[in-house]
Amino acid sequence: MEQAIQLKIRSLIQHPGHEPMIEYQKVAGTLFKKARSTYIRYDDRMSGEVIQTTLKVSERELVIFRKGAVTMKLPLTIGLRRAATYSNNGMNMQLESEAERLLVRREEDQYSIDVTYHLYANEDKLGTYELALTYTEATK
């Protein structure tokens, strides 16, 4: 059964040699559970285009799926490099991802996910990324 939620999202992108970029969003989404995982879905916007984003959250792993202007599958496991895919405007990239930190917390009626991860292409570090989500049940 899907549950309506409200999300607050903070994302930070730090490419080597550049200033960090920080973005904040508040969006509506849905949450549902399947087997041992929790799924969070919401629509993200990039350059005016909608990107459907799904987070698959389990005890030791977070997988980020994006579909739309950007297509991505990004598995994140602490201390383990994983194959990831990214596609944008016909450009396909094979990447590797590695989580440095992954925290999933539940406090009364509020939940949060904090992840810091690194992306690599051919052993070159593309950047360090942080994603912090806080979500609560949507009020009717």
Task: Provide the pLDDT confidence category of residue 137 given band limits of 50, 70 and 90.
Answer: confident
- How many domains would you assign to the chain? 1
pLDDT of 45 strictly over 90: no
pLDDT of 140 strictly over 70: no
Q: Which residue has the higher pLDDT, 64 or 46?
A: 64
Q: Which residue has the higher pLDDT, 46 or 30?
A: 30
The fraction of the chain above a pLDDT of 70, given in percent, is 99
pLDDT of 75 strictly over 70: yes
- Whole-angstrom CA distances from 16 to 28, 88, 128, 132 are 32, 21, 8, 21
Interval 78-126: pLDDT, tens: 999 999 999 988 889 999 999 999 999 988 778 899 999 999 999 899 9
| Cα 128 versus chain centre, distance | 13
Under 8 Å CB-to-CB from 89, ≥6 apart: which residues?
69
Give me the domain span that covers residue 103.
3-137
User: How far apart, in whole angstroms, are the C-alpha atoms of residue 38 and residue 32?
Assistant: 6
Residue 129 maps to which CATH number? 2.40.128.20
Beta strands in 89-123 (DSSP E): 91-107, 110-121
